[in-house]
Amino acid sequence: MVLHFDAARVKGLLFDLDGTLVDSLPDLHYAVCGVLSDWGLPAMSMEEVGRYVGKGVIHLAEMVLKARKPEADEATRDRFVKGYVDALAASGSKRTRAIPGVAEALSLFSGAGLPLAVVTNKAGVLVDAVLQDTGLSGYFSRELCFSADDVEHPKPAPDMLFLAARRMGIDPADCLMFGDSRNDAEAASRAGMPVMLLETGYNEGDPIADWGRKNNFRDIFPSMDLAARALLSERNQLIP
């Protein structure tokens, strides 16, 4: 597959977390339903929770409360956020798994000498544990793991991507973003960097392949190992 950007120019790689590196939806669903149960509210299906994932915990809380407690005010939302984050921290990442093909891709990227960074809207207190529990922490230095806590505006704003590029000492235009949602695609576009989209995660209920084609994002892959091979093949760095 011919990529729609200059692969030879890429000097650093940025990765979303949920839906891109790991399938965390079972844990997110568990935490949401735990808070709803504590509040005496009906549970949600995993599919519904998945539609609210990607724009950060505040957006998730707002959407859940809109569906289950529409009269909720900002203070109630903040209580939900605290309960949700506490539930995730207490239960750990035991239901979260690295997405198939991710470890192979990260190994290929590391072997090619490309620096790797995480840029996630997930609460920062949870990021280290997720990477550790899924066996991916060895691919990322703590200094190159960024969350919504590190910037004023989370994705789809480009702030986090600019911060990661600056920390790596690389021009944003020479970085490549990997993500599974429109938030990742839009953040990359606003940062002036190319993006490879993966059909492995959550995009507010709209398949990323369909959304990408409609919005002129054309580098879309079923899995990260296939994306890695396409990228490194164009860079003439992949050993058959």
Distance CA 222, CA 52 (A): 22
CA 218, 14, 129, 54: dihedral to nearest 10 degrees?
-40
Q: Of 94, 100, 96, 109, nearest to 198 (Cα)?
A: 100
Please say if 23 is a catalytic residue.
no
Q: Taking a C-beta distance cutoff of 8 angstroms, is the pair 108, 5 a contact?
A: no
Tell me the sheet residues that pair with 145.
Answer: 118
**Contact in structure between 151 and 47 (CB atoms under 8 Å):** no
Q: Which of 6, 16, 133, 206 is catalytic?
A: 16
Query: Helix, strand, or coil here: 42?
Result: coil
DSSP 65-101: HHHH-TT--HHHHHHHHHHHHHHHHHHTTTT-EEPTT
Cα–Cα distances in Å, from 211 out to 3, 90, 126, 183, 232? 18, 35, 29, 11, 25
Catalytic residues: 16
